[in-house]
Structure 1
Amino acid sequence: MKNNATRTIRSEEITIDVRICAALAANRGGEVYLAAIAPDMELTVITLDEAPGILPCFDEEDALISVKGAPMFISYNPAQVLKLAGKRYLTGPVIFYRTDGRSTIVSLTVEDIYRFQTYLEDHSTTLMADGQKLPCICID
């Protein structure tokens, strides 16, 4: 499932495309799927091979946030963190992924996508800078 769709600026409401759920549900041990979101794109399912094209430091110089209750992580570029009023905000792309508990990246499930959607709903915010909206993820 290659992502050839036109990129759109992320809306304040995070939604999940039914096609994403269908692709993940149909994946029976084949491709490794991750999820990505950025200020200029909606939540999107990507392949492991596509991750460095969205987040060049993925699995190399990235920083991680673990998701409570599951072996899932949010990968981001630490250089794209904005500190404002005592809080930290991610301003660039992030990759959501799951591991098998032994640090091997495995494909996300439909439930994982819903868990990330809930995380984004709880942590997404829009900052204003010079009259421009900047969608961010608050990590504090």
Structure 2
Amino acid sequence: MNNTTIRSEKVTIDMHICSTLAERRTSGEVYLAAIAPDMELTVITLDEVSDILPCFDEDDAYLNIPATSLLLSYNPKQVLELGGRRYLTGPVILVRADMDGNIISLTIDEVYIFQKYLESHSVTLMVGGQKMPCICME
């Protein structure tokens, strides 16, 4: 193991994500996670969400990660239906809300759960000879 990542089975968590989430305790900042076809999993602040997903909290839709309180926020216009399955083709924001519906910061454990979810739901589709990374919604 090197000192830039934490590995558990096949899942790797970047140390930058760990340190950023640890900082939230002292800064009071709300941190979410984001991933897109052209972007690695990263931790962002609530203020940065609209740079990645402009429709966030306006025209977005949510997908619940089973057996968790985690939600994937995505643009419903970026869903591809193929062979009876639906695929997210654009950026997604991982969020967590409290009982009152307020968005609250993620924990490192929740980022790990998300990475496990991505590991089992990420697929690469071929569209017009181009590879398209997606998240299977089924």
Same fold (TM over 0.5): yes
Match of 1:19? Answer: 16
More relative contact order, 1 or 2 (CA 8 Å, 6+ apart): 1
Match of 1:68? Answer: 66
Query: In the aligned structure 2, how far is the partner of 1:106 from the partner of 1:44?
Result: 16
Q: How many residues end up aligned between the 2 structures?
A: 128
Deviations 1:18-62 (A, max 9, x none): 111121123216110000000000101000010011001101110
Give the alignment partner of residue 86 of structure 2, picking from 79, 88, 100.
88
**Could you list the runs of 5+ residues in structure 1 that have no partner in the other structure?**
1-12
Query: How many percent of aligned residue pairs carry the same amino acid?
Result: 62
Query: What TM-score do you get using the length of structure 2 for normalisation?
Result: 0.87
Whichever structure has more strand as a proportion of its residues is 2
CA contact under 8 A between 1:16 and 1:43: conserved in structure 2?
no
Greater mean deviation of Cα atoms: 74-83 or 94-103: 94-103
**Could you list the runs of 5+ residues in structure 2 that have no partner in the other structure?**
1-9
**Residue 112 (1) aligns with residue 118 (2):** no
Structure 1 residues 15 and 41: alpha-carbon distance in aligned structure 2, compared to 1, 3 A threshold: farther
Query: In the aligned structure 2, how far is the partner of 1:132 from the partner of 1:18?
Result: 32
Stretches of 4+ moved more than 6 A in 1?
none
Greater mean deviation of Cα atoms: 14-23 or 99-108: 14-23
Query: What TM-score do you get using the length of structure 1 for normalisation?
Result: 0.86
CA RMSD of aligned residues (A): 1.4
Query: 1:69: how far off?
Result: 3.0
Query: 1:124: how far off?
Result: 0.2
Structure 1 residues 101 and 70: alpha-carbon distance in aligned structure 2, compared to 1, 3 A threshold: farther
Match of 1:46? Answer: 44
Structure 1 residues 14 and 128: alpha-carbon distance in aligned structure 2, compared to 1, 3 A threshold: farther
Query: In the aligned structure 2, how far is the partner of 1:112 from the partner of 1:98?
Result: 9
Greater mean deviation of Cα atoms: 59-68 or 32-41: 59-68
CA contact under 8 A between 1:15 and 1:43: conserved in structure 2?
no
Look up the equivalent residue of 1:59 and give its one-letter code: D
